[in-house]
């Protein structure tokens, strides 16, 4: 099993670029097709913690579900935003690369190099 996990959408160019970058650096991540097998609530909260982001920071604001569910409302709680991502996984920004207790968004894909460097320095 890989030490790296990639929350991946193969239709997304940044996600494909991040996967290629990992592979070019000798990393074969465990791939989670998060639209097919979305994270559950505890996994999503764990990802947010590892990323050091709020739920609002992880939302894809250009998705139809963002507008349809009124998620631009700044009075919505963290839990309400998490619930929206659980109901509509397309709202989760991608790709996410996880290594141990850390994670990064692959936007830009080069962000993943932080985790690869941390991995090789151990």
Q: What size, in residues, is the chain?
A: 122
- Specify the pTM: 0.93
If phi > 0 it is left, if psi is from -120 to 50 it is alpha, else beta; for residue 100 that is left
Which pair of tokens denotes residue 5?
A: 């996990």
Say what the pLDDT of residue 105 is. Answer: 97
Distance CA 54, CA 44 (A): 11
- Which of these is catalytic: 4, 7, 8, 12? 12
How far CA 4 is from CA of 1, 86, 103, in Å, comes to 9, 23, 9
> Which pLDDT score, from 0 to 100, does residue 122 have?
45
> Residue 102 is inside which H or E element, if any?
strand 102-105
- Architecture of the domain made up of 4-120: 3-Layer(aba) Sandwich (3.40)
pLDDT of residue 63: 96
- Residue numbers in the chain where pLDDT is lower than 70: 1, 118-122
Answer yes or no: 12 catalytic: yes
Q: Which helix (H) or strand (E) holds 26?
A: none
Q: Please report the pLDDT score of residue 120 as a whole number.
A: 59
Phi/psi of residue 107, each to 5°? Answer: -130, 95
């Amino acid at each position: 099993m890989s030490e790296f996990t990639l929350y991946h959408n193969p239709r997304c160019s940044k996600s494909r670029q991040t996967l290629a970058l990992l592979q070019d650096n000798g990393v074969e991540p465990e791939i989670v097709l998060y639209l097919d097998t979305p994270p559950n609530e505890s996994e999503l909260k764990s990802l947010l913690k590892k990323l050091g982001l709020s739920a609002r920071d992880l939302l894809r604001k250009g998705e139809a579900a963002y507008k349809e569910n009124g998620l631009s409302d700044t009075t919505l709680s963290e839990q309400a935003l998490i619930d929206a991502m659980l109901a509509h996984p397309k709202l989760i920004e991608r790709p996410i690369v996880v290594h141990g207790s850390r994670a990064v968004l692959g936007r830009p894909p080069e962000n993943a190099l932080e985790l690869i460097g941390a991995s090789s320095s151990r």
